[in-house]
């Protein structure tokens, strides 16, 4: 079987520096790559974009960032919408929108469910991130985004599909909107930071009449009597239990510390929840 390109993106490593965004623009604005892509317009096109997700509430809040781009789908809707071979799937898995054959085919833009294809009004062509195929064909082993990223967010791998399935299972990778059945070749690690919720709180204990942060308290999260998460409070008495599905119903939280214990119940909606200050009895 042929080896194909895949991109692995670790959301946890992204700090929104936007160097990948700039690297893509640096590569394509003002540069023509015949057979691969026409030059990117200076404004209006973001072939690599960064999505932002805030979770939690004061004082336990976090912001996470997810680079998004053309997914180079194996069952690409843009290919189905194109005529005259304007969009092709290479043997190495990369999808290319031909800059000549695609002229006038705005339907290619509308077909992408990820909004990853942009319309070049001046040249009347659809355009998207080409996985830097022109560089890979010239012997490069990394895309410009991966090469430029200072925190190691990107990892491009060229492997057979069976090996990619093994990597996906071993690293817990996910793709965007798998229900669409487009079979993307861009995979995400730590997707829970964008798609799931956490519960948090601050545990305190009354010691000799003084309210103290309860460091080292054991926090156990249960649902329907079964444990689904566990954490230990830090120096500030704070804890966080992550990877909870949105609108997943009622939970029970048990907290055990050196000065006492307690149990409380709560309902989880579609947002991460801060339970406030929890005082051990």
| Interatomic CA distance for residues 143 and 161, integer angstroms | 20
Burial of 10 (0-12, 13-18, 19+ CB in 10 A): buried
pTM: 0.93
Pair 134, 33: CB distance under 8 Å: yes
139's CB contacts (< 8 A; 6+ apart) are none
Strand partners, 20: none
Q: Strands 218-223 and 226-232, how do they pair? A: antiparallel
Query: Which top CATH class is 196-280?
Result: mainly beta
The pairing of beta strand 186-189 with beta strand 4-10: parallel
The one-character DSSP state at 176 is S
- Tell me the CATH class for 4-193: alpha beta
Closest Cα partner for 153 from 143, 140, 168? Answer: 143
- Per-residue tens of pLDDT for the chain, all 281 residues: 799 999 999 999 999 999 999 999 999 999 999 999 999 999 999 999 999 999 999 999 999 999 999 999 999 999 999 999 999 999 999 999 999 999 999 999 999 999 999 999 999 999 999 999 999 999 999 999 999 999 999 999 999 999 999 999 999 999 999 999 999 999 999 999 999 999 999 999 987 778 899 999 999 999 999 999 999 999 999 999 999 999 999 999 999 998 889 999 999 999 999 999 999 97
Measured between alpha carbons, how far is 136 from 97 in angstroms, rounded to an integer? 17
Domain ranges, ordered by start, for the chain: 4-193, 196-280
């Amino acid at each position: 079987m042929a080896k194909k390109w895949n991109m692995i993106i670790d959301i946890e490593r992204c700090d929104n520096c936007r160097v990948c965004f700039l690297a893509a623009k640096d590569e394509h604005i003002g540069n023509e790559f015949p057979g691969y892509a026409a030059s990117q317009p200076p404004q209006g096109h973001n072939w690599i974009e960064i999505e932002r997700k805030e979770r939690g509430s004061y004082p336990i809040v976090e912001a996470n960032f997810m680079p998004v781009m053309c997914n180079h789908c194996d069952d690409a809707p843009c290919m189905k919408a194109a005529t005259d071979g304007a969009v092709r799937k290479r043997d190495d898995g990369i999808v290319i929108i031909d800059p000549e054959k695609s002229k006038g085919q705005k339907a290619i833009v509308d077909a992408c469910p990820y909004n990853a294809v942009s319309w070049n009004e001046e040249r009347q062509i659809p355009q998207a991130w080409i996985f830097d195929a022109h560089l890979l064909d010239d012997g490069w082993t990394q895309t410009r985004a991966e090469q430029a990223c200072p925190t190691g967010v990107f990892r491009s791998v060229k492997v057979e599909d069976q090996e990619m399935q093994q990597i996906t299972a071993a690293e817990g990778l996910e793709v965007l909107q798998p229900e669409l059945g487009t079979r993307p070749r861009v995979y995400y690690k730590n997707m829970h930071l964008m798609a799931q919720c956490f519960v948090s709180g601050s545990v305190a204990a009354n010691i000799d009449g003084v309210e103290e942060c309860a460091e080292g308290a054991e926090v156990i999260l249960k649902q329907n009597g079964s444990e689904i998460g566990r954490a230990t409070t830090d120096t500030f008495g704070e804890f966080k239990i992550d990877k909870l599905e949105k609108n997943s119903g009622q939970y029970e939280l048990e907290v055990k510390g050196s000065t006492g214990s307690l149990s409380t119940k709560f309902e989880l909606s579609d947002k991460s929840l801060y339970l406030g200050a929890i005082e051990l009895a």
